[in-house]
C-alpha cells in the first residue's frame, strides 16, 4: 500500500499505511492523517478565538527560553523567514553564544527535503574563510528537524548598516572587495551562494563583512523562493536576470557576481539597479533592459567605478567578470588608483594617476620634460630662423589631422 | 470569539477578489489578495501540470507562466462558471491554460517569454508516480489542495504558539490534534513536557479548539460564500478517502 506523506508521497514499507480512524491514506509527517485533520474543522463548536487561545496557552509554565536543541540552550529568537527561524543560543559545554538556525518543522517537509537541507548545510560548513560566517555544527532536533549553529554576528547586517555608509565610496568598495574575495573562495570549491543580498552579509563587532547562508538561503529565506515573486514583499533587486528565468541547476558564479555588483550599486547609488512597484516589474526590467549607469544616479562618482559595476551587471552572464576574484582585483586596483582591468583608461588619465601615486618622481619627470621642451624650442627657433619661411598658401594641416593627412591647397 | 469569526469569514480573500473583478471594484486589493492565495496554493497547480505528463523543467515553466497570466490579466472575468470557489477557479483556469501548453513550451525554447518565478529545484520536485500514478490529474490537484489547507492551518497554529513563547508545546502536542483520543497517552506527554496530566489535557483541548478555527478560516478564504465552508471541507475529505480505495 502506498501512503502519501508530507510534501512528497513515499512508500511507507513497514509503517502503518491507512489511518486507523478514517481509513484515508494521506498523512503529514509529524502531524498525522490529513483527512482527520480536515474533519476536525467540521466540529464548529468549541473553536477558540486568538485571545482565549493565548490566555490558556500562557498558563503552562513552559516558556520557550528553556528550550534545548541538541546541546544548545535556546535563549531568544532573533530572526525569522518563511521557512526558517534563527535563535541566539548557548552551547551547554563551552558556554559559547552562537546563532542557531533551523527549518520550521510545521511546514511538513518531506524527509528527503530535510536530508538535502542537512547535506547542503554540511557542505557550507566546510568553507573556511575570514569573510564567510563559520558554521560550527550541523545537527538535528529530537523531532528530526536539522539545524546548524554558527558564529553570532553582533554587528548586524549590511542592510542595516547601509545608511551609515552613504557617501563613503572607498569604505563601500573596500568592504565589497572583501566579500568578492570570499565569494571567489567559495566558487573555487563549487559552492554558489544563489541569494547574495545585503541581508545575507553580516558584520562582526569590528565591521568586517561575513557572508552567511552559502547555498542555504533558499531553505531559510522567505525572499528566495516562489513567494518572493508572487507577492510584493521583498525586493528582488539583487537577482541576476538568468536566475529569475532559469532553473537553479544551471546557475554559474556569474549570477553571484551580478548580485555582488547590485549590492555595491545599492551602497553607492542609494538604490539597487532596478526598482519598481512590485517584484514582477523589477524582474522584467532586469531581463529586458540594461542596468542604469552608476553616474546617471550619482554623477559625482568615479567613471571607473561605473565601469566595474556595469561589467558586473551585464545582462549576458558570459560578458560579466569571469570570476569574483577578478571583481575583487578591479576594486583593489580602483582603491589603489591603478588602472582597472575592465577598461584600459586613456594615457593622460594613467599618467595623472601615476603622478598622484608618485608625486616626487612625477615632479622630477615634469621638470625634465619642461627643460627638454624649452631646449627644443630654443634650438628649433634657431633652425627655423635660419631658413626662409614657406608661403602659407603652399599647404596647411587641418587641426587635429595627422601628418599624413596634410594636403596641399595650392 | 464570535466577533473574530464574523470578521474573518465576512471578508474572505476570495470574496474580495470576486468583488474586485467587477468594473468598479477595488482592483489593487483584489490583486494583492489573489497574489497571496496563489502564493499559498501553488503546489496543487504544479502537481497537476506534472501529472499531465510534462517533464519537471517544462512543468516549472508552465506553472510560472500560469501564475503570471493569472496575476497580470484580469483573468477572473473569464471564469464566471467557477467563481464560487478559488479551487474550482484555479483548476478550470489551469485546464484552459494548458490547452495551449505546446505553443507555450515552444515559446520558451525560443526564449520568447518573460518568466518571473525563481525556482529552487527542491521546490519543484514532481509528485512521486509510485503513490499517485493511478490517480487522474484532477484528483492529484484536489489531494494536494487538501494537504495545503491543512499544512497552512498547522503552520498558523505553530506561529501563534511560537509568538507566545510556547513553540515547544506545539511540537510535542501536534501529533495529537486529531480525534484519535483513545490513543493519546496524557501521562507520556506530561512526562515529556515535565508538567501535570491535567495541564496537558487542558492545553491539548485549547490547541484543538484553536486549530479548528484556523482550519475553517483557511477554507473560508477560498470560498465566496462563508456558508460553503462545510461543503468545501467535506469535498476535500471525500477526495482523501477515495485515495485509499
- Judge whether residue A142 has pLDDT over 80: no
Higher pLDDT: A257 or A362? It is A257
| CB-based contact B143 A26, cutoff 8 Å | yes
CA distance linking residue B13 with residue B4, whole number of Å: 15
Chain B residues with CB under 8 Å of A77 CB are: 162
Helix, strand or coil, per DSSP, at residue A72: strand
Q: Which of B117, B213, B237 sits opposite A38 (nearest CB)?
A: B237
Return the residue of A nearest to B180 by Cα.
Answer: A21
Q: What is the mean pLDDT of residues A193-213?
A: 88
> Per-residue pLDDT averaged across B86-109, rounded?
76
> Closest approach of chain B CAs to the CA of A122, in angstroms?
17
Q: What is the pLDDT of residue A334?
A: 95
pLDDT in tens, A18-70: 777 777 777 776 567 888 888 888 886 766 777 888 888 888 876 665 567 88
Nearest-CB residue to B199 (from A60, A108, A116): A60
DSSP state of A318: G
Which alpha helices (DSSP H) does B164-196 contain, by range?
167-173, 186-193
- pLDDT, mean of residues A6-22: 48
Asked whether B244 and B36 are in contact (CB, 8 A), the reply is no
Contact residues on chain A for B130, CB-CB shorter than 8 A: 2, 9, 11
> Which residues from B are below 8 Å from A106, CB to CB?
151, 154-155, 157-158, 170, 174
Taking CB atoms and an 8 Å limit, are A48 and B1 in contact across chains?
A: yes
The pLDDT, as a whole number, for residue B146 is 93
| pLDDT (mean) for B116-133 | 45
Q: Which three cell numbers stand for residue B198?
A: 491535567
All three cell numbers of B233, joined, read: 471541507
Closest CB to B131: pick one of A11, A59, A245: A11
- What pLDDT score was predicted for residue A15? 43
Contact A104 B155 (CB under 8 A): yes
Radius of gyration, CA atoms only, chain B: 20
What integer is the mean pLDDT of A345-360? 69
Alpha helix ranges (H) inside chain B: 2-10, 13-20, 27-40, 42-51, 56-72, 86-99, 101-109, 129-132, 137-163, 167-173, 186-193, 197-220, 229-243
A5 DSSP assignment: E
Residues A246-271 pLDDT 10s: 655 577 899 999 999 999 999 999 99
Rounded to two decimals, the pTM is 0.55
- Chosen for mutation from A40, A58, A315 (greatest number of chain B CBs closer than 10 Å) is A40
Residue B215 has pLDDT above 60, yes or no: yes
In the residue annotation, A195 being an active-site residue is answered as yes
Size of interface A-B (CB pairs under 8 A): 262
Nearest to B121 among A9, A31, A248 (CB): A248
Greater pLDDT, B144 or B57: B144
B244 to A284: CB separation less than 8 angstroms, yes or no:
no
pLDDT of residue A51: 81
Q: Which residues of A touch B60 (CB under 8 A)?
A: 247
Confidence label for A83 from pLDDT (cuts 50, 70 and 90):
low
Higher per-residue pLDDT: B130 or B221:
B221
Mean pLDDT of A1-17: 39
Q: How many degrees, rounded to 5, is the angle at CA B99 between CA B97 and CA B103?
A: 90
C-alpha cell at A48: 477558540
Nearest-Cα distance to chain A for B211, in Å, is 8
pLDDT at A279 over 90: no
**A371-to-A366, A376, A378, B116 alpha-carbon distances in Å:** 9, 9, 11, 66
CA distance A247 to chain B (A): 6
Mean pLDDT of A377-384: 68
How far is A7 from chain B, CA to nearest CA, in Å? Answer: 9
Q: Do B154 and A37 touch (CB under 8 A)?
A: yes
| Better pLDDT: A393 or A373 | A373
Which triple of cell numbers denotes residue A342?
A: 575592465
Place of cell 508538567: B195
Where does the pLDDT of residue A273 fall: very low under 50, low under 70, confident under 90, or very high at 90 and above? very high
Measured between beta carbons, the chain B residues lying within 8 angstroms of A46 are 208-209, 212
Helices then strands, counting H and E runs in chain A, come out as 15, 12
Q: Is the pLDDT of residue A194 over 70?
A: yes
CA dist., res. A102 & res. A64, Å (int)? 15
pLDDT at A232 over 70: no
Q: Out of A6-20, A251-265, A309-323, which region has the weakest mean confidence (pLDDT)?
A: A6-20
Closest Cα to residue A351, out of A335, A366, A341? A366
What is the nearest CA distance from A40 to chain B, expressed in angstroms?
A: 6
Q: How far apart are CA A98 and CA A93, in angstroms?
A: 13
Q: What is the 3-state secondary structure (H, E, C) of A224-282?
A: HCHHHHHCCCCCCCCCCHHHHHCCHHHCCHHHHHHHHHHHHHHHHHCCCCCCCCCHHHH
Complex ipTM: 0.82
pLDDT in tens, A94-107: 888 899 887 765 44
Give pLDDT, residue B194: 80
Distances (CA, A) of B109 to B47, B102, B112: 22, 11, 8
Task: Give, for A79, the enclosing helix (H) or strand (E).
Answer: strand A72-80
Residue range B99-107: mean pLDDT, rounded: 64
Q: Which residues of A touch B215 (CB under 8 A)?
A: 37-38, 40-41
Answer yes or no: do B175 and A46 touch at CB < 8 A: no
Distance from CA of A84 to the nearest CA of B (A): 12
Of A23-32, A156-165, A229-238, which has the strongest mean pLDDT? Answer: A156-165
**Which of A24, A31, A44 is nearest residue B240 as measured by Cβ atoms?**
A24
- A344 pLDDT exceeds 60? no
Which of the residues A29, A64, A184, A195 is marked catalytic?
Answer: A195
Q: In whole angstroms, give the CA distance from residue B74 to residue A145.
A: 41
Task: Find all residues with CB under 8 Å of B155, minimum gap 6, and list them.
Answer: A104, A106, A107
Integer Rg of chain A from CA: 31
Nearest-10 Cα torsion for A179, A185, A190, A191: -30
**Residues of chain B neighbouring A38 (CB-CB closer than 8 A):** 146, 149-150, 215, 233, 236-237, 240
Is the CB of A35 less than 8 angstroms away from the CB of B241? yes
Q: Are A256 and A193 in contact (CB under 8 A)?
A: yes
A198: helix, strand or coil? helix
Structure-model confidence comparison of residues A286 and A236, the more confident one: A286
Residue A329 has pLDDT above 60, yes or no: yes
Residue B126: half-sphere exposure toward Cβ, Cα within 13 Å: 19
Q: How far apart are CA B121 and CA A39, in angstroms?
A: 33
pLDDT averaged over every residue in chain B: 75
User: Which of the two residues, B162 and B122, has the higher pLDDT score?
Assistant: B162
Checking if the pLDDT of B125 tops 60, the result is no
Q: Are the C-beta atoms of residues A6 and B151 closer than 8 Å to each other?
A: no
On the question of pLDDT at A11 being above 60, the answer is no
- Identify the residue with better confidence: B121 or A153: A153
Q: Which of A82-96, A156-170, B83-97, B193-207 has the lowest mean pLDDT?
A: A82-96
Per residue in B48-81, pLDDT tens?
988 888 887 778 778 878 887 887 766 666 655 5
Give the model's pLDDT for residue A230.
33
- Quote the cell numbers at residue B131: 503513490
Q: How far apart are CA A210 and CA A188, in angstroms?
A: 17
| In the predicted structure, residue A114 carries a pLDDT above the cut 80 | no
Amino acid at each position: 500500500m502506498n501512503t502519501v506523506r508530507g510534501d512528497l508521497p513515499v512508500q511507507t514499507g513497514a509503517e502503518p499505511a491507512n489511518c486507523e480512524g478514517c481509513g484515508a491514506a494521506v498523512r503529514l509527517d509529524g502531524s498525522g492523517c490529513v483527512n482527520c485533520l480536515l474533519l476536525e474543522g467540521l466540529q464548529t463548536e468549541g473553536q477558540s478565538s486568538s485571545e482565549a487561545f493565548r490566555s490558556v496557552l500562557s498558563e503552562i509554565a513552559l516558556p520557550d527560553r528553556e528550550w534545548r536543541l541538541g546541546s544548545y540552550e535556546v535563549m531568544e529568537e532573533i530572526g525569522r523567514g518563511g521557512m526558517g527561524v534563527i535563535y541566539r543560543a548557548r552551547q551547554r559545554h563551552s558556554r559559547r553564544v552562537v546563532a542557531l538556525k533551523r527549518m520550521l518543522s510545521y511546514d511538513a517537509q518531506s524527509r528527503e527535503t530535510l536530508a538535502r537541507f542537512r547535506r547542503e548545510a554540511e557542505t557550507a560548513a566546510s568553507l573556511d574563510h575570514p569573510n564567510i560566517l563559520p558554521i560550527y555544527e550541523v545537527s538535528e532536533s529530537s523531532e528530526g528537524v536539522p539545524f546548524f549553529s554558527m558564529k553570532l554576528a553582533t554587528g548586524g547586517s549590511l542592510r542595516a548598516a547601509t545608511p551609515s555608509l552613504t557617501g563613503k565610496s572607498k569604505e563601500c568598495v573596500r568592504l565589497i572587495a572583501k566579500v568578492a574575495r570570499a565569494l571567489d573562495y567559495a566558487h573555487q570549491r563549487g559552492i554558489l551562494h544563489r541569494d547574495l543580498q545585503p541581508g545575507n552579509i553580516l558584520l562582526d563587532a569590528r565591521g568586517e563583512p561575513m557572508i552567511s547562508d552559502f547555498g542555504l538561503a533558499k531553505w531559510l529565506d522567505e525572499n528566495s523562493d516562489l513567494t518572493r515573486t508572487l507577492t510584493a514583499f521583498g525586493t528582488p533587486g539583487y537577482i541576476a536576470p538568468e536566475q529569475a528565468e532559469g532553473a537553479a541547476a544551471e546557475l554559474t558564479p556569474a549570477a553571484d557576481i551580478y548580485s555582488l555588483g547590485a549590492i555595491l550599486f545599492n551602497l553607492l547609488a542609494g538604490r539597487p539597479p532596478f526598482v519598481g512597484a512590485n517584484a514582477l516589474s523589477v524582474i522584467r526590467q532586469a531581463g529586458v533592459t540594461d542596468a542604469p549607469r552608476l553616474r546617471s544616479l550619482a554623477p559625482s562618482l568615479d567613471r571607473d567605478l561605473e565601469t566595474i559595476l556595469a561589467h558586473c551587471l551585464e545582462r549576458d552572464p558570459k560578458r560579466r567578470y569571469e570570476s569574483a576574484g577578478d571583481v575583487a582585483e578591479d576594486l583593489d586596483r580602483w582603491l589603489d588608483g591603478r588602472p582597472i582591468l575592465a577598461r584600459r583608461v586613456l594615457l593622460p588619465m594613467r599618467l595623472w594617476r601615476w603622478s598622484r601615486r608618485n608625486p616626487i618622481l612625477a615632479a622630477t619627470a615634469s621638470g625634465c620634460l619642461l627643460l627638454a621642451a624649452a631646449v627644443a624650442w630654443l634650438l628649433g627657433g634657431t633652425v627655423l630662423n635660419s631658413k626662409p619661411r614657406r608661403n602659407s598658401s603652399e599647404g596647411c594641416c587641418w587641426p587635429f589631422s595627422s601628418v599624413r593627412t596634410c594636403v596641399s591647397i595650392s | 470569539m464570535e466577533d473574530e469569526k464574523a470578521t474573518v469569514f465576512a471578508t474572505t480573500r476570495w470574496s474580495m477578489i470576486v468583488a474586485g473583478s467587477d468594473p468598479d471594484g477595488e482592483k489593487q486589493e483584489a490583486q494583492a489578495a489573489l497574489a497571496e492565495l496563489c502564493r499559498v496554493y501553488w503546489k496543487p497547480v504544479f502537481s497537476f501540470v506534472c501529472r499531465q505528463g510534462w517533464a519537471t523543467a517544462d512543468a516549472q515553466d508552465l506553472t510560472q507562466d500560469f501564475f503570471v497570466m493569472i496575476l497580470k490579466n484580469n483573468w477572473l472575468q473569464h471564469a464566471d462558471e467557477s467563481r464560487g470557489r478559488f479551487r474550482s477557479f484555479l483548476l478550470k483556469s489551469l485546464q484552459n491554460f494548458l490547452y495551449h501548453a505546446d505553443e507555450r513550451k515552444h515559446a520558451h525554447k525560443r526564449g520568447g517569454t518573460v518568466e518571473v518565478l525563481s525556482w529552487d529545484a527542491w521546490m519543484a520536485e514532481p509528485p512521486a508516480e509510485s503513490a499517485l500514478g493511478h490517480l487522474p490529474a484532477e484528483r492529484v490537484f484536489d489531494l494536494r489542495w487538501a494537504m495545503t489547507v491543512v499544512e497552512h492551518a498547522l503552520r498558523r497554529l505553530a506561529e501563534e504558539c511560537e509568538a507566545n513563547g510556547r513553540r515547544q508545546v506545539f511540537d510535542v502536542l501536534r501529533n495529537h490534534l486529531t480525534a484519535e483520543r483513545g490513543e493519546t497517552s496524557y501521562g507520556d506527554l506530561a512526562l515529556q513536557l515535565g508538567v501535570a496530566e491535567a495541564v496537558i489535557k487542558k492545553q491539548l483541548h485549547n490547541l484543538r479548539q484553536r486549530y479548528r478555527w484556523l482550519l475553517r478560516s483557511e477554507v473560508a478564504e477560498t470560498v465566496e460564500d462563508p456558508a460553503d465552508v462545510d461543503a468545501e471541507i467535506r469535498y476535500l475529505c471525500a477526495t482523501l478517502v477515495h485515495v485509499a480505495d
